[in-house]
Amino acid sequence: MSHVDQPFWRRKALDQLSQDEWESLCDGCGLCCLLKLEDEDTTELYHTRLTCRLLDIGSCRCSDYQNRHTSVSDCALVTPDTVDELDWLPATCAYRLLAEGADLHWWHPLVSGDRNSVHEAGISVRDWARPETGVPQDQIDRYVIRDPSRQRPRRERE
């Protein structure tokens, strides 16, 4: 396959992508929307199974994407300049994978051609996360999980 025939994510650096190309890299897993707790003494980060109040868990998409940074003050801005700094991004995240020189997984919607493949592969938060809404601040630590990318067994590629 010639260079021209390669998909855009293999031909271009992250900082060369159009806004539409950049946005299409999001696989819709929702893992980056999980609430995280930081240990003040060790600075170790712990993921919870609670999601940002803006995440629609059924679709694994932000319900107010355009205004998310205004609505949620600590919503991280993932850009070509910040992706290397966000070490909490899941190992399966397309932005992280491409920044590290890897390729997209078979279940990524750009590869599979199916927006549901990320859910069918068991990568998304769809079936096990819950919204932060209604959880008292002092009880968030009850929802800490070990590895957010391994909450469900993944299906192998068929």
CB 110 within 8 A of CB 22: no
Per-residue pLDDT of 59-75, as tens digits, reads: 999 999 999 989 998 89
Per DSSP, helices labelled H in the chain are 8-11, 19-24, 68-71, 94-99, 109-112, 117-120
- Cα(122)–Cα(112) distance, rounded to whole angstroms? 14
CB atoms within 10 A of CB 33: 25
Give, in order, the Cα–Cα distances in Å from 2 to each of 6, 7, 18, 78: 7, 10, 21, 30
DSSP-derived 3-state class of residue 55 = strand
Lowest mean pLDDT among 18-22, 32-36, 75-79, 145-149: 145-149
pLDDT in tens, 62-118: 999 999 989 998 899 999 999 999 989 999 999 999 999 999 999 999 999 999 999
Work out the angle at residue 87's Cα, subtended by the Cα atoms of residues 84 and 90, and round it to the nearest 5 degrees: 110
